Structures are given as C-alpha cells and as structure tokens.
Chain A
Amino acid sequence: MDWRVRRIGQALFTVWGVITISFLLVRLMPGNPMSAMIVELEEQGISPTQARYLVELRLNIDPEEPIPIAYVNYVGSMIQGDLGHSMYYDRPVVEVLATALPWTLFVLSWAAFISFFLGITLGALMAYWEGGRLDLGLTGYATVMGSVPFYVLAILLLVFLGYRYGIFPTGGRQPTGVEPGFNWTYIRGVIHHAALPVISMLVVSGAASLSMRGNSIRVLGEDYLRVARLRGLPDSTIAIQYVARNAILPMYTGLMISIGSMFGGSIILEEVFAYRGVGYYMMSAVNQRDYPLMLGAFTIITIAVVIALLIADLTYSKIDPRAGGGKSEGL
C-alpha cells in the first residue's frame, strides 16, 4: 500500500483512539463525569429524571442505552461535529470553541513562525561565525532560556511590561470599545493584545537556533559545498540554496511538532494572560467541571496536532525530493 494511504490511516486511527478514550472516560470510569454531573444537577434541585435527561442532552450519551450502541451514537455525533453542550456557558461546545480557536491559532502561528525564522537566521549566523562571540553568547542564552518554563517568563513579562510600565494590555484578546472589523485600530489592538503571549513563547524558544546551528555546521562540511565553491558559485547562492536549504530540512517536522507542544502550553499561557482561546476555555472548563467543554477542547487540540503532523509528513517530500519517491537505490 502507498505510504500516504497508510499515513492518513494512522492519523484517522489516532483521532478515533482519542474519541474512544474520551467516551470511555466519561462512561466507564468510576465516579465518572456523567454521574458527577447528575449529582450536581440534583443538588441544584432538579429531579433525578430531569437531571439525567439534561446530562444526556449535553454529553450526547444516553446512559440507558447499552454501551456499544451508546458508543456508536457518540462517535456518530462526534463525526458530525456535535461535541455536546457546554454547561457553564450554556452553548454548544462547538460554538464556544469555534470562536476561541482562531485566537489560539493566531497567537500560536505567530509564535511558531517568528521563533522558527528568527531561529534559522540566528542559527545560520552562529554556524557562519562558529566559535565567535555571537555563537558563544547565543548558545549560552538559548541554553539558559530553553530551561526556563515559559509561564514563569510570562508572569514576569506581565508584571513588568503589563502592570508596571503599562506597555501592553494585561489581559483580553481584543481592544475594548473598538468595533471589530477590518480597520487599522482594531487590527493594531489585536496585535497589541497578542504581543505578550507571543513574546513569552518567543523568548524561551532557543531550540530552533541551536538545531539550525548544528545542522548548518554539518552541511558546511559536505562535499557538495566544496564542489559548489570550486565551481565559483556566488556566496549568496551557496548560503541560501546550499547551506540554509539543506540545514532546514531536518527542522521542518520539528516545527510541526512544536505547534503541538505549543497547543499544550497555550492552556497555561492563555490563563495567565486571560486570553480567551481554546486553552483558556479548557482551563475554565476544568475549574467549572464543565465536562462537555473539557472533552471537546481536548478532542479539538488532539485533532489539530494530528493534522499538523499529517501535513508535515505529506508535504515533506515537496521540500526534500529524497523523501517519499525513494526508488530502488537501497539495494
């Protein structure tokens, strides 16, 4: 079978696995969310039958149905995009998350791509002046900052740049009192609000520059570089098409994986900055014991990571011709 078919199959399998696990968590665990929700509603003075009915409605699970049938129904509604009904916000989970997801993606993609390009540029320069002052300084910086948890930094940034100096807003995701729309004030406000979360992720991401540095140094020792120089190619061609291009290849999949880990990090980050993204809602769902929202956010994040990795794998052969169409060379 073609590897792409296999790869897509694997991705689907992962998503299915996540959905199944979430179902099992809800349904089979002792003290499971379902009974917890029923008890909670009963405490609010709702009759047990009523409570049960409400819970079914919100979780897409009918406790009276035998497990296999309930499972099929649950998966069926998941596939149709019905993630249940949030108890705290009293809206469908899909709706809550759909308004939050773009904001998270906005912050994450900025953080990921700025750190990636900054890392590549710095890493390339570090490799070029290997052993020089820039190299030593940045290596030290990246090592130290790589071990600082970003949320610690986020709190520091918030304290200084937000509260003390008031350069950046201390919370929220868009400017207040401005009509959302495609106008400069609004866009500037949005960027202004996203700045602190992006910066706190950026400052600690030294990993990209370090691996770029290592990769570039490896490429600098390759034979083809020597041949290129002897052929008299201009330095800019050698730097971009020969060194950078080949050094970036191993980092491409890493970029996509880092998006996944950033999603995980966004939960705390968005809480710190009161930035209403997927992570923020997930955190509040945990605090409010809003199980449908929690499971929904969990599923969405998983699917997002799976899709990012799938895209990375499927497009890798586009940037590296050696991947994928590996003919019969390995004989």
Chain B
Amino acid sequence: MTEQAVSNDDRDASITDPILEVRNATVKFGMDRGESRVLDDVSIDIERNEILGVVGESGSGKSMFASAFLDAIVDPGTLSGEISYYPDSGGEVDVLGLTKSELNQFRWEEIAMVFQGAMSSFNPVRKINTHFVETLTAHGDTVSEGMERARTILSDLYMDPERVLRSYPHELSGGMKQRVLIALSLVLEPEVLVMDEPTAALDLLMQRSIISLIEDIKEKYDLTIVFITHDLPLVVDLADRIGVLYAFEFIEIGPANELLEEAAHPYTRALLKSTPNLTAPVDEMRPIEGSAPDPVNEISGCSYHSRCPMADQRCEVEDPGPYIVDTDHDVHCHYWEEASEAVPMPNDGSGTETGSPDSDQPISVQTPETRPRWAGENPVLSLDDVEVHFEATQDEGLLNLFTDPETVRAVDGISFDIYENDVVVLVGESGCGKTTLGKAAVGLERPTAGRVEYRGQDVWEAKETGGDIPFEDIRQSLQIVHQDPGNALNSYRKVFSSLEEPLVRWYDDLDGNDRRQRILSMLKHVGMSPPEDYIERYPHQLSGGEQQRVALIRAMLMNPDVILADEPVSALDVSLRVEMMDLMLELQDMFDTSYLFISHDLANARYITEKTDGLIGVVYLGKLVEIGTPERIINDPQHPYTRALCWATPELLTETDRTDDSPMRKIDIPDPTDPPSGCRYHTRCPEARDVCREVEPEMVDSGTDETHQRAACFRAQENHEYWTSESIVED
C-alpha cells in the first residue's frame, strides 16, 4: 500500500495541470454470491485538454469507471474514494460530496457523457429539437442562444441542423444518432466529455469518421476527453495517453504511441496481438487464453497471473504496484522488462519477424487445386442478377392515401457463386444491403428479380412447384448464424433442447442417446467442457462467446452446405474474435461446408479469407462494387469505396504511418429510396468525374492469372472516357 501512495505522487509529476483527480475509486455491488468489486481502488489523474483512451474487455469495469466521473453509478452499486474536479475558472470541486441539485448542475455543464447506446439514448416520442430545448431549460440557459450553439455543433458534425432537429430519433441512422448525442452532450459547453464506447454499435466507416470528427471537436471546443472502448487500435489513433483496464484496475498507462510500440504489460501485448488488422500476418494473430476473473472472487497478487505466460510464485502472492517505465508510463507487472521477450510482437522494431516465412505466407500464391473457382466445378450456390426491392411507407398524413410508396432497392442486381468449401465475405457499411443479400442467398428472403440456384436448382421454384432437389433438402443445406447469439437462442430452452431440435427434425434414425452423444462431443470439440454441465444451462448462463458457439453448432448439426454467418463476431470482444473465427474455420473443415460471411470489418474479412483462400465482396447501396482475393482487395483496391473501407479499418500504426484524411466526401450513406444515378458512389467518391454521374460502371477484371479481382469502377479501365471527363469534386 505504501508503494501505491508513493507512485501516486510520482504520477502527479507527469501531470502538470490536472482537470480531474481520481483517488482510490472503488465500486461495490452486493450480490447473492457475495460482494463484488467492479472497480478496484483506481487512482488516475487526467490532464487538462488531453484525450485519455481507456481500453478494456467487456467486464473489465470500464463502464463503471466512466460513470464514476459523474457520480452516476447505477443502484445498487456504491462508489467510494475521492474525485476532485478543477474547473478552468480555478477552485476545486469534490464530485462525490455534491448535493443532489448541485450534482444536477454539475453533470452536463462541467462533465458530460456520451453513451454507447445512441440508438436508445433518445426518447422515441420526442423530436430531437425537444431534447436540446429541455436540456437547456433544465439548466436555466437561454434557449435561443443554446439552440444557436446546437446548430453550430451539428453542422460541425457534418449534419444539416434544421433537418436533424425536426426529426424524430427513429428517422436518423445509427451514425447520425450517435453524432446528435455528441452534440447534445456539448450543448452546455462542458469542459470534460466522457465517452463510453461511443462507436461500438456502428460500422467501421462511421466509427472512423466519428473518430476524426472528435479530434476536430476537441480542438474547437477546448475539451478534455475520456474515451472508453474495447477496441485498442481504434483509440490509438485518437488518444494522447492510453490506460488499459484489466479486472477492474489499470494495469498499464502510457502515451499512446509508446504503448503501441513498447507495451510493457503482457496483457497489453496479448491484446495487441489478438486484434485482427490489415497489416500483421494472419498467423501472428492469437487469441488470449483463459478468461478474466470473476468480480466476486478476491484476487491475490496480480489479477492477470492465471493467464500470463510469465507468471510465477511472486505474481500469485504479491500485488504488482506500479513500476515506472518512463516518466509518464506506468505498468503493474513485476516482470515488465521481460514482457517483450515472453510475448513477442510481429512489428517489434527488431525486424526478425518481418522476414520470417510466416509473414510471407498470406501473400504467397496458392496452387490452383485449392481454388475451385477456376477449376470449372459447379457452384453450390449461385446468385444471378438478384434484386430485392422493398416498399417503404412514407410520411404521415391521411391525405396522401393513394400515392405510390417508394421502393428501397436493398439489393439491386448482384451475381456471384459459392463453391464447395468456399468462403465469400461480403463487406460494406450499415444499410448497404449486405444482410438482405445474404438472406436472399440462403433462401430466406425472396428476390424480387433474378435467380438463386442451389446446385443448379432454382430455390424458389423448388419451394413452389417442386424441382429435382426437394425444397426440404435445400432448406436443410442453407443455414444461418446470426449476429447476436443472445437473441438467436431461445432463452427459455436449455442448450441441450436447442441443439437437439435439428437432430430430431432431420435425423429420424438417431435415438435419444445418439443425439445426446453427438451433442456432447460437439460441445467438447468447441471447447465447452465439461459438456454435461453446459447442456443443462440456459442461454443467459453462457458468455457471449459460448452462446455464439452454441448457435454455430446448432447450424452445423444440420450438416449444411452453406452457412450464412451474419456478423458472427462483431458482438464479441476484440480479443475473442480471432478465436471464434479459428473455430469456425475448423468446423468448416470438419463438416465440409461453405461460408457466406457478412461483416463491416475488413480486418475480420481479411483474416478469414486469407486463411481459406476465399473472396471478399464489397457491397455498396445494393451493388457489388468489387470482389476479389484478400491480397488484391487490401493491397490494390480498385474501387474508391474499397479504399475508404481500408482507410476505416483501425491499424496498429504509429502516427507517422497514418493518413488522417478521409477518402470520402460525405460521411452519410445516401437515401436508399433514391440512390444516386450512374455510379452510386459518385456522391461520396473523391475521384468522381462527370461521367460517373450518368453512366453506371460495369464489372471489369483486374486480377491476374493467379489472383481474382473484379471491380465496377471506370478507373480500373485504361482507355475509358472517364479519364477525359471533368471532375465533379468541388474544392
């Protein structure tokens, strides 16, 4: 404990002008199983006008940390410790000592917060404007002045203030809601902004766009920002300093770049390695073994010792006090000096890894046998010019009863094939139609035009008039794994009943015992042991990763030919994603299936396709704009939209290697009821020229003999009139 006190003083030395001082903040919850500490004696200083990134997996106490600044821990949690706030005007505010009305003034005027759930942070029956007005009146501000500020902030966030203020929350897209929430938190001109996973529910493109906006906003409004996330690469870009939370306490705090290049804690290093990205060799990405400790159990010694490769006797007994790596870099590990050897990084300055055969592999050319695409085999699933159009209802008013509803062209003429043991990943931002396309591909959504064929048999024809292959068989062969495993499993059925269902339905010859054996062995295979224990559980008694495994097994037990996996890893923590994808690939080998993956994350797409020689297809507003092997898509994207997706993928790069300018002219995706003419991307494309506005580009081959790549962009064609056409990019 004395060691702790000394180091606190040391830490003060590197912080010259703190705006917030947190001392021994502890949050306790009384639970049936005992008292649980979800924030354990955390002390930290926050420098005025810095951006502090706080990184932690789910269940590491990071939301508690965020709420502590506003003394807003939800009941029945109790916060103890000391939080001091030093406003610009001088003086000191003891946050935990404020009365209720003082606290009501303090919150939002001095420290405001942006939540993860922007989707649900607004009252659904009140207009956005009302949200701003009521906040201003509640704090006794002049409404007209305040709304003027709100309008400025909204336009700073690249939105049309008048339109947004007139809207109801549900009329805005997820990305817009999140930005409105940021604007709402800034309307009272706070000095500190605490952001708790503000981008987690958004696709990467929007995440990245918001991140770059936050930087501008911070400069303009003179803010101090605490940015909390589970996504280390995301925050590396933004933050000045990064603190890593593990098991309810900080285990390492240091400048962002230093943490990236010379992380001193084995957990930080493992976290960096487990994150899918575009540059590190796929074989270097490793999941972190084991799981984080339970908050109820009092941990003796280092909380990471059970998962740490370097742990020894001392780690189990002695709490590692902060060791000072640098003036502003602390680490809670007894053996931090040896961590770089114990947990090597692919991009350690040493250079030993870059030349190793491992990292060459993903770029190496595969032999044609493993690429059925060129072997002239028949595809399992074939989509031919598939269109899915929805009718959208329009605005209220009893008078326009007889106007034609608008059509949303969710999927507008897409063709591709999936072969045996193949993997195709569809990437694109939210609202581009990739999920609808996926559903159409596995026969869950009827295309309004075009054909979906399973081994040459039209799926919908089989359903209606019967065909060579009965529809029952097709249904069994095309399965789906959903994004949110918690919702995909019936919460009132035990794991065993959920898994037994497909076997009972499709395998009459199995008796109860066979079914049980089969389920047990599958559970064991995916690492859920002892399986006898797991089959008796209900879904809420499983972790997110375990739920997703059950959902995956359930699909696999049908012995399908193609599985549509709709964002199967985005609901999981970054550190679990690699593990889940590895498992999916292993099961693919075992069951001989193909995957149609849907993802907004190019890094995940790259990981899974590089390991299987699959294809990445880029979807934009109902059109397939580019498709190809991962090395082509990532290293030499032809379509500017693909380039934007690459830009949006967080990279573990240091500041100097990064490009900060967005390759898009607009943040928001156009209205799908009224898609742009010609090339649909021309409204956001930095390379758009006059011809893009009128003519729709066709898919052209730009791959080589060994690689596959097709893109729908004029820039991929050498002698096209595009090159002589006039640019429409103003500025």
- Bound together, the chains give a CA A321 to CA B124 distance in angstroms of 8
- Bound together, the chains give a CA A320 to CA B125 distance in angstroms of 6
- Bound together, the chains give a CA A226 to CA B403 distance in angstroms of 41
- Bound together, the chains give a CA A231 to CA B405 distance in angstroms of 39
Partner of A331, one of B104, B135, B395, B410: B410
Interface residue B725 (Cβ < 8 Å from any Cβ of A): no
Interface residue B401 (Cβ < 8 Å from any Cβ of A): yes
Q: Is the CB of B107 within 8 A of A246?
A: no
Interface residues of B in 108-139 (CB under 8 A from A): 108, 113, 115, 117, 120-126, 134-135, 138-139
- Bound together, the chains give a CA A325 to CA B671 distance in angstroms of 15
Q: Is the CB of B124 within 8 A of A231?
A: no
B125 cross-chain contacts in A, Cβ below 8 A: 245-246, 249, 319-321
Partner of B108, one of A232, A314, A320, A331: A232
A328 cross-chain contacts in B, Cβ below 8 A: 390, 392, 408, 431, 671-673
Q: Is the CB of A223 within 8 A of B134?
A: no
Q: Determine, out of B165-173, B497-505, B573-581, B640-648, the stretch whose residues face the partner at the interface.
A: B165-173
- Bound together, the chains give a CA A317 to CA B398 distance in angstroms of 11
Nearest chain B CB to A6 CB, angstrom units: 10
Interface residue B400 (Cβ < 8 Å from any Cβ of A): yes
A318 cross-chain contacts in B, Cβ below 8 A: 396
- Bound together, the chains give a CA A229 to CA B135 distance in angstroms of 10
**A325 touching B138 in the complex, CB below 8 Å, given contacts A246-B125, A331-B408:** no
User: How many residues of chain A are within 8 Å of chain B by beta carbon?
Assistant: 37
Partner of A232, one of B105, B405, B410: B105
Q: Is the CB of B402 within 8 A of A314?
A: no
Contacts across chains A and B counted by CB atoms under 8 Å: 111
> What per-residue 1/0 map shows which CB atoms of B131-153 lie under 8 Å from chain A?
00011001100000000000000
Q: Is the CB of A322 within 8 A of B433?
A: no
- Bound together, the chains give a CA A229 to CA B74 distance in angstroms of 11
Q: Is the CB of A228 within 8 A of B74?
A: no
- Bound together, the chains give a CA A231 to CA B184 distance in angstroms of 9
Q: Is the CB of A231 within 8 A of B400?
A: no
Interface residue A110 (Cβ < 8 Å from any Cβ of B): no
B27 cross-chain contacts in A, Cβ below 8 A: none
Interface residue A179 (Cβ < 8 Å from any Cβ of B): no
Q: Is the CB of B138 within 8 A of A321?
A: no
Chain B CB within 10 Å, residue with most, of A318, A320, A324, A327: A327
Interface residue B72 (Cβ < 8 Å from any Cβ of A): yes
Q: Is the CB of B138 within 8 A of A230?
A: no
Interface residue A65 (Cβ < 8 Å from any Cβ of B): no
Interface residue B435 (Cβ < 8 Å from any Cβ of A): yes
Q: Is the CB of A223 within 8 A of B117?
A: yes
Interface residue A182 (Cβ < 8 Å from any Cβ of B): no
> What per-residue 1/0 map shows which CB atoms of B177-217 lie under 8 Å from chain A?
00001001000000000000000000000000000000000
Q: Is the CB of A231 within 8 A of B138?
A: yes
Q: Is the CB of B436 within 8 A of A331?
A: yes
Contacts A2-B401, A231-B134, A331-B430 aside, 12 further interface pairs with beta carbons under 8 A come to A1-B405, A224-B122, A226-B115, A227-B121, A227-B122, A228-B123, A242-B123, A321-B170, A326-B392, A327-B171, A329-B170, A331-B672
- Residue ranges of A at the interface with B (Cβ–Cβ < 8 Å): 1-5, 222-224, 226-234, 237, 241-242, 245-246, 249, 314, 317-322, 324-329, 331
